[in-house]
């Protein structure tokens, strides 16, 4: 079990051992960077095909099935197509910003992967003091790229898309950061590695103490998922792109390989934020039960990542798109207050550690349920239950 | 003084110079972001990791977007035409004088030659304890200030209704 | 040049950039950019003196810089709201446009 679990680390040590001692730190860093830059874009290629297959299944059609076995080489065809297309830059575009924007969108998620603990002892950049802050600081740079893309095209639709995207990103960043903050409060550290270690405590029946298995963890995870969908521009929050309304949003004026880079950046952002959610709430690379420890830790991480990605694809196939004002109202009047109450409940949970388990659960869950009911009342009034009458 | 510091200082200063001299306001705002992000990297290089990342989060993630939105709302996206300044000579003279005075003071100060102390270990825990013990009143004050600023900014920027109708946009 | 004086020189030049923008440029947004630059130059001084000063364990300079960061964010929000309000009234983001109180 241990050899398979530590396989990436041992492999790296073997490769690094070949080089002279002076070069070893550099080679080690390069290997880590290379692995991150290979794994996640490969996952992106796989996800594009799987997403289209699953969406096809949901919509009762076959999906891509021409290239390769059962259409699974579609990503290669798409990649070659986007590489060979003409790269068009509009005449009144701001050429420098138009060129820089795709890079500013793609690089931050790649940097963010470096602090995620992918397996036991398997993290590219362990920041024991500021891991989570690094993740969010790097993630914030995407907003600048989005604006650059929307503005530099000189097109009003892409500018509209950029404004929508920025408003949405800023509004949903607050619930995202604040729900992560509850975990920071309970862990007492900003280090993502320490967060996973904290969750490795064993409860009854060999169950690991994932943060999901607490009342504040459930609510925090749901808030995190909602905000993550918005941050990654996933349906039902895909207004910045909204193909049917504003063409393709902030990257309307992009073509060929740059367009593909925006897609890559978007999916990498989704993977990064899913990976963060796994680390914060789903126990990172930990299995749910101790007796499942024989499966390598990195397989657990990627399994959970795959499950979350499937969840988002499912959501995309199911929910319609929101309207802009609904999106804003939801963020500021429902999600943000609920997150703050959740942080309060998490604090309560921390200070009532020696209470009776049942009473502690009932108190926290009751508070959160009351908050949910109170906060969702205006929505219940604004959107009464619809009844449809069909012609006979 | 390391090569890294020189590079970062060059980036910060160049971007700051561009931010205050460019005619295109969007470019100026983006250069300001670059300058402040460079400053955040300098903080990290000065062993203030937490502050540097907080600087990047606050300036690149929030203030930058605010400025960019303001540029959009005041239609500053077209490059400015005409004179950039009403009194360039007086302002320039004051600026150059002040910069020269400060540089002279820095070059004359004997205290700056003190040996560099070893890098302090700053834990986030220590920062948090300071914030919630010694600096708890300023922390609450900052909370109040930020709330007031949010409300005030929203109130000022809202279009006024009633007695003083705004001129209709062309 | 010692590391501390290098930081001070950088901060001094940044401050000069900001001051120049405030004194010379007419556009209100550039003036605000200048103010941000000056605030950050002062912040760099705090961090440099904290790091190279005699007592780095006290964290005082770091704390001051953190508070200044929060205040700068509030200042930017209010400043930009004012610029938008002035623009709405005068159709201009020129600081010389708002001169009704001139005697």
**Is the ipTM above a cut-off of 0.90?**
no
Give the neighbours of chain B: at least 3 Cβ pairs within 8 Å. Answer: A, C
Q: Is the pLDDT of residue B110 over 80?
A: no
Q: Using alpha carbons, select from A85, A145, A134 the residue that is nearest to residue A265.
A: A145
pLDDT at residue number B81: 65
Q: Which of B98, B109, B156 sits opposite C16 (nearest CB)?
A: B98
Q: How confident is the model at residue B165 (pLDDT cuts 50, 70, 90)?
A: very low
Residues 6+ apart with CB under 8 A from B16: B31, B32, B35, C14, C17, C18, C37
CA distance B51 to chain C (A): 7
- DSSP output for chain C: --HHHHHHHHHHHHHHHHHHHHHHB-BHHHHHHHHHHHHHHHHHHHHHHHHHSS-GGG-HHHHHHHHHHHHHHHHHHHHHHHHHHHHHHHS--BTTT--TT--
Which of A99-103, A173-177, A232-236, A259-263 is least confident? A232-236
Burial grade of A326 (CB within 10 A; 0-12, 13-18, 19 or more): middle
Judged against a pLDDT cut of 80, whether residue A106 lies above it is answered with yes
pLDDT score at C16: 92
Positions in chain C short of pLDDT 70: 1, 103
d(CA C51, CA C57): 9
Please check whether residue A92 is in contact with residue A76, taking contact to mean a CB–CB distance below 8 angstroms.
Answer: no
- Average the pLDDT over A310-329 and give the result: 85
User: Model pTM?
Assistant: 0.89
Residue A127: closest CA among chain B residues belongs to which residue?
A: B49
State in Å, rounded, how far the first CA of chain B is from the last one. 55
Question: Which residues of chain A lie closer than 8 angstroms to B33, CB-CB?
Answer: 144
Contacting residues of B for A143, CB less than 8 Å apart: 60-61, 64-65
Closest CA to C62 of C81, C49, C72, C79: C49
pLDDT exceeds cutoff 60 at A126: yes
Q: Is C70 on the interface with B (CB under 8 A)?
A: yes
**Over 90: is that where the pLDDT of B38 sits?**
yes
Q: What is the mean pLDDT of residues A358-366?
A: 87
Neighboring chain B residues of C89 at a CB cutoff of 8 Å:
166
Confidence of residue A340 (pLDDT cuts 50, 70, 90): very high
pLDDT at B39: 93
B170, pLDDT greater than 50: no
Q: For residue B25, what pLDDT is reported? A: 86
- Is the pLDDT at B93 greater than 70? The verdict is yes
User: How far is B15 from B17, CA to CA, in rounded Å?
Assistant: 5
d(CA B52, CA A40): 27
Higher-confidence position of A261 and B117: A261
Residue-wise pLDDT for A242-265, tens only, equals 666 666 677 777 888 888 888 888
What span, in angstroms and rounded, lies between the C-alpha atoms of A344 and A373? 17
Q: What is the pLDDT of residue B163?
A: 45
**pLDDT tens digits for A269-284?**
999 999 999 999 988 8
Q: What is the pLDDT of residue A69?
A: 85
Is the C-alpha dihedral spanning A352, A358, A363, A368 positive or negative? positive
Tell me the β-bridge partners of C27. Answer: C94
Worst-scoring range by mean pLDDT, A87-96, A215-224, A312-321, B22-31? A87-96
Q: Is A141 on the interface with B (CB under 8 A)?
A: yes
Cβ–Cβ below 8 Å for C62 and B54: no
Distances in Å between the alpha carbon of A209 and those of A49, A199, A282, A283? 35, 5, 9, 8
Find out whether A117 and A196 touch, Cβ atoms under 8 Å.
Answer: yes
Mean local confidence (pLDDT), A381-392: 72
Burial class (CB in 10 A: 0-12, 13-18, 19+), C48: buried
**pLDDT higher than 60, residue A1:** no
Residue B140 burial class via C-beta count within 10 angstroms: exposed 0-12, middle 13-18, buried 19 and up: exposed
Q: Do chains A and C touch (3 or more CB pairs under 8 A)?
A: no
Average pLDDT over residues B40-44: 92
Percentage of chain A exceeding pLDDT 90: 17
pLDDT at A167 over 60: yes
Tell whether the model's pLDDT for residue A352 goes beyond 50.
Answer: yes
Q: Nearest by CB to B67, which of C6, C71, C76? A: C76
Q: Which of C33, C44, C80 sits opposite B20 (nearest CB)?
A: C33
CA dist A251 and A223 (Å) reads 28
- Which band of pLDDT confidence, cut at 50, 70 and 90, is reported for residue B43? very high
- At A343 the pLDDT is 92
Q: What is the pLDDT of residue A171?
A: 87
Count of residues in chain C: 103
Cβ-Cβ contacts under 8 Å for C15 (sequence gap 6 or more): B99, B102, C37, C38, C41, C42
CB contact under 8 A, A151 and B124: no
Closest CA relative to residue A338, chosen from A377, A290, A292? A377
Q: pLDDT category, B32, cuts 50, 70, 90?
A: very high
The per-residue pLDDT for B166 is 47
Question: Residue A214: is its pLDDT beyond 90?
Answer: no
CB contact under 8 A, C6 and B126: no
Query: What is the chain C residue with the closest CA to B104?
Result: C9
CA distances from C56 to A57, C50, C63, C87, C101 (A): 62, 5, 12, 46, 49
pLDDT at res. A226? 92
DSSP B123: -
């Amino acid at each position: 079990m241990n050899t398979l679990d530590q396989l990436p680390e041992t492999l790296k040590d073997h490769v690094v051992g070949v080089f002279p001692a002076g070069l070893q730190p550099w080679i080690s860093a390069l290997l880590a960077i290379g692995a991150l830059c290979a794994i996640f874009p490969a996952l992106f290629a796989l996800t594009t095909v799987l997403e289209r297959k699953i969406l096809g299944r949901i919509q009762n059609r076959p999906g891509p099935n021409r290239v390769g076995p059962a259409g699974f080489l579609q990503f290669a065809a798409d990649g070659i197509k986007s590489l060979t297309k003409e790269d068009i830059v509009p005449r009144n575009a701001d050429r420098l910003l138009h060129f820089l924007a795709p890079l500013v969108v793609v690089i931050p998620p790649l940097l963010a992967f470096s602090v995620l603990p992918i397996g036991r002892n398997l993290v590219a950049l362990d920041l024991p003091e500021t891991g989570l802050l690094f993740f969010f600081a790097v993630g914030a740079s995407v907003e600048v790229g989005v604006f650059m893309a929307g503005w530099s095209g000189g097109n009003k639709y892409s500018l509209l898309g950029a404004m929508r995207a920025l408003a949405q990103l800023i509004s949903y960043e607050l619930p995202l950061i604040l729900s992560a903050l509850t975990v920071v409060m309970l862990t007492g550290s900003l280090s993502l590695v320490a967060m996973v270690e904290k969750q490795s405590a064993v409860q009854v029946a060999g169950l690991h103490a994932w943060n999901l298995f607490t009342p504040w963890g459930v609510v925090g995870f749901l808030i995190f998922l909602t905000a993550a969908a918005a941050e990654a521009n996933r349906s039902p929050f895909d207004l910045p792109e909204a193909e049917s309304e504003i063409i393709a949003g902030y990257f309307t004026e992009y073509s060929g390989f740059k367009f593909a880079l925006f897609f890559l950046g978007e999916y990498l952002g989704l993977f990064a934020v899913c990976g963060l959610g796994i680390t914060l709430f789903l126990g990172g690379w930990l299995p749910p039960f101790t007796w499942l420890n024989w499966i390598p830790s990195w397989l657990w991480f990627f399994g959970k990542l795959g499950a979350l990605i499937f969840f988002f694809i499912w959501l995309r196939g199911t929910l319609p798109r929101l309207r802009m004002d609904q999106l804003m109202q939801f963020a500021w009047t429902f999600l943000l207050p609920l997150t703050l109450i959740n942080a309060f409940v998490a604090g309560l949970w921390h200070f009532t550690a020696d209470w009776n388990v049942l009473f502690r659960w009932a108190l926290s869950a009751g508070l959160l349920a009351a908050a949910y009911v109170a906060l969702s009342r205006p929505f219940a009034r604004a959107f009464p239950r619809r009844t449809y009458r069909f012609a006979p | 003084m390391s090569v890294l510091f020189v590079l970062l200082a060059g980036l910060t200063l160049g971007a700051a110079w561009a931010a205050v001299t460019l005619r295109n306001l969007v470019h100026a705002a983006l250069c300001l972001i670059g300058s402040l992000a460079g400053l955040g990297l300098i903080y990290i290089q000065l062993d203030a990791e937490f502050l540097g990342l907080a600087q990047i989060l606050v300036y690149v993630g929030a203030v930058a977007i605010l400025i960019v939105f303001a540029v959009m709302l005041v239609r500053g996206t077209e490059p400015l035409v005409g004179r950039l300044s009403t009194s360039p000579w007086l302002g320039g003279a004051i600026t150059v004088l002040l910069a020269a005075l400060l540089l002279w003071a820095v070059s004359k100060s004997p205290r700056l030659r003190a040996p560099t102390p070893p890098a302090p270990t700053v834990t986030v825990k220590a920062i948090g304890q300071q914030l919630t013990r010694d600096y708890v009143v300023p922390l609450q004050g900052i909370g109040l200030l930020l709330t007031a600023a949010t409300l005030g900014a929203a109130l000022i920027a809202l279009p006024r209704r009633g007695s003083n109708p705004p001129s209709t946009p062309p | 040049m010692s590391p501390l004086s290098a930081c001070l020189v950088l901060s001094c030049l940044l401050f000069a950039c900001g001051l120049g923008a405030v004194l010379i440029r007419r556009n209100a947004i550039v003036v605000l950019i200048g103010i941000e630059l000056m605030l950050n130059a002062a912040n760099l001084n705090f961090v440099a003196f904290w790091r190279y000063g005699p007592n780095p364990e006290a964290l005082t300079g770091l704390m001051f810089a953190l508070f200044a960061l929060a205040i700068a964010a509030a200042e930017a929000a209010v400043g930009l709201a004012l610029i938008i309000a002035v623009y709405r009234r005068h159709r201009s983001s020129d600081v010389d446009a708002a001169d009704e109180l001139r005697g």
